Structure 1
């Protein structure tokens, strides 16, 4: 399958125009007429994932976070990003990124998170206001609202999250870890700012990552329960989600999940 053809199929389900203005989802490196037989999926493109792709004869890396994000004035081998770009181009490896458009789109990362946890999907947390941003009568937006099959405590919910997502730690913000949980909101990645929206709702807990200290203080004072799984903890499942999507809905391409995804934080 040609790269352009593959991208066309992907973007029918996960439209690239859903991404935020500051984002850089889409094709970051590559020729549109390149044949794609082997894909590597990853959260982040690092030196280790590029080397893995070279050793595995990968044609295309699909990452969640854009490879080219901040302004780049030159591509030189003395710069970390430039050296990786040169290595990718020299080895004819294309790079396609699915970031905020995949967070927002139906069937994207927030929906996959709920499915993985066996939580009923009750809709979008923060809808986009544009009239054009609809699909089958539903409004696109960031985050999802979910409902557990039966009520539990925050402590037991934490245990379930850690087991299913293979996490060693989860940070809890709240006044009572034994309080009841039935409804949840999930914003994969950095979604801690949504605690103020949660305070005005009937949602029992916000599941997200990257909560800052002062946000945590304010959330506590507003009596909002927050579970901070870390940025990596909520998003590394992207690789499995994309592999599942391509295997089940496209087919004909070998897809492997990177064995070298980087969580830069070490729990000591």
Structure 2
């Protein structure tokens, strides 16, 4: 099957045109006319992942390996070092980032990982109506994402309306209509801001909250009759 045929299938599943203006989803490495028999799915690209893949594989990632303006390809530096290895092995790459967040990832995490129905969906935000003790809820959330502890900003003892954004969503804080926000990459100043507007936060991790990208997509790609493997890159953080 041609890369173009797979791209068109993905575009129907999660249109690339709905990605954010700053995003870089789509075909990033390769040729639309290349014949593909194997697809690998991963959140990111790393060296060990590329080494593990067969030649002529199509790698579909959540995060784009080429994100900002790429002004040079110096093969001793990231990400050019990885792109070079991909080209040598004729590995194509399609990224599905903010488009997939909106169409699939947040919904899957809310319903399949956390086990709640979505009360409202607004772009990158899924709202959940719950009425639970904050500490109990926080422990349940951290367990669902495989976290050893719940890193929180606690503004109330009870949670009633929750907003969820996988990945890094703290820039959305002031636009939310919720009393608790689940997202990743929560920084110190994000926590201070959340406390000032009386918004509880639970940090669900960037990698941990997007880990499910591959298994969601695998279910859809099985319909194409190709070999589809989950070959996720490793979390760059080690917790000791």
Q: TM (normalized to structure 2)? A: 0.91
Residue 80 (structure 1) shift: 3.0
Alignment match, 1:133: none
Tell me the number of residue pairs that the alignment of Structure 1 and Structure 2 aligns.
239
Aligned counterpart for 1:94 among listed residues 92, 95, 99: 92
Residue 267 (structure 1) shift: 2.0
Asked whether the 8 Å contact 2:184–2:206 carries over to 1, the reply is yes
Alignment match, 2:127: 145
Quote the RMSD (CA, aligned, Å).
1.8
**Which consecutive unaligned segments of at least 5 residues does structure 1 have?**
126-140
Residue 75 (structure 1) shift: 2.2
Tell me how far apart the structure 1 counterparts of residues 56 and 198 of structure 2 sit (CA, whole Å).
Answer: 48
Residue 153 (structure 1) shift: 1.7
In structure 1, the residue corresponding to 2:119 is in which secondary structure? strand
Aligned counterpart for 2:117 among listed residues 117, 120, 130: 120
Residue 191 (structure 1) shift: 0.6
Tell me how far apart the structure 1 counterparts of residues 45 and 38 of structure 2 sit (CA, whole Å).
Answer: 16
Cα gap change, 1:170 to 1:245, in 2 (>3 Å): farther
Cα gap change, 1:254 to 1:153, in 2 (>3 Å): farther
Tell me how far apart the structure 2 counterparts of residues 225 and 103 of structure 1 sit (CA, whole Å).
Answer: 22
Task: Report whether the alignment pairs 1:181 with 2:163.
Answer: no
Residue 61 (structure 1) shift: 0.7
Residue 113 (structure 1) shift: 0.9
What does the per-residue CA deviation read over 1:151-193, in whole Å, with 9 as the maximum and x for residues that have no partner? 32222222222332222233101234xx222431111111112
Tell me how far apart the structure 1 counterparts of residues 202 and 235 of structure 2 sit (CA, whole Å).
Answer: 18
Alignment match, 1:74: 72
* Matched ranges for 1:18-33 at <5 A: 18-33=18-33
Tell me how far apart the structure 1 counterparts of residues 153 and 16 of structure 2 sit (CA, whole Å).
Answer: 34
* Matched ranges for 1:1-268 at <5 A: 1-54=1-54, 57=55, 59-105=57-103, 108-116=104-112, 117-125=114-122, 141-148=123-130, 151-176=131-156, 179-198=157-176, 201=177, 203-247=178-222, 250-259=223-232, 261-268=233-240
What does the per-residue CA deviation read over 1:2-56, in whole Å, with 9 as the maximum and x for residues that have no partner? 21111101101211111111111000011212222211111111111111224xx
**Which consecutive unaligned segments of at least 5 residues does structure 2 have?**
none
Asked whether the 8 Å contact 1:146–1:183 carries over to 2, the reply is yes
